[in-house]
Copies of this chain bind each other. A is one copy, B any other.
Amino acid sequence: MKQITKHIIKNSLKRIFLYRACLVRLKMMGVEKAFSYTLANETGVTSDQVRKDFSEFSIKGNKRGGYDINDLLEKMENIFHRNKYHNIVLIGMGNMGLALSKYSKFVQRNMNIVATFDIDPFKQKLRSDIPVYSMGRLKEIIDRFSVKVAILAVPEISAQEVADELIRHGIKGIVNFAPALLKVPPDVIINNVNLCDELESVIYYVHKLMKV
């Protein structure tokens, strides 16, 4: 039933996001067409890989003509549901939560943090442009804004408890910043972001590279 589901995000999906960012840049520069090797050069992969990745997501270009950037971006917006707004809740207004609540890139990509939550009543007024509610109002807000995805930035100790509550109220995906492995039903997507591990990984590879 409840289990540790490490829904590892596929590398091909991450690469697709890179391609898109690159296409957006090219478009801003007035470019209209891109080839697989254009994207490959810009993102540090091979052109084969670009095409294979597109193939995986059924994205098609024009033989010889490459890819029409506008067309491609539109297809991607559909595939990644970017044409709709996505309402997000953020739980935990500590340092990290506060920073995330102010992170403007989310809004630029149609992902709106509609409300934040914290158990500390002091933080409930003070900290942000986005309303900060007590946990008691979680269900009400999730229902009102049809929220399906949450950002979890609470301390490790309460992460599981809060995740359970979120899932009980209908949340189906969580980006988890707490260094805890959440036990969740198999139909809930978890994406763990562990900042210590990210930093420590770099330290490890730096040492390794310096030794050789």
Contacting pair B191 A201 (CB below 8 A): yes
Contacting pair B181 A191 (CB below 8 A): no
Residues of B within 8 A of A98 (CB): 95, 99
Copies of this chain assembled into the complex? 2
Bound together, the chains give a CA A61 to CA B35 distance in angstroms of 51
The answer to the question of A96 belonging to the interface, with a C-beta cut-off of 8 Å to chain B, is yes
Q: How many residues of A contact B (CB 8 A)?
A: 61
Bound together, the chains give a CA A174 to CA B5 distance in angstroms of 29
Bound together, the chains give a CA A189 to CA B206 distance in angstroms of 6
The answer to the question of A13 belonging to the interface, with a C-beta cut-off of 8 Å to chain B, is yes
Which B residue sits closest to A96, measured CB to CB?
B99
Bound together, the chains give a CA A17 to CA B88 distance in angstroms of 29
Residues of B within 8 A of A99 (CB): 95-96, 98-100
Task: Provide the A201-212 mask, 1 if CB < 8 A to any CB of B, else 0.
Answer: 111111101100
The answer to the question of A159 belonging to the interface, with a C-beta cut-off of 8 Å to chain B, is no
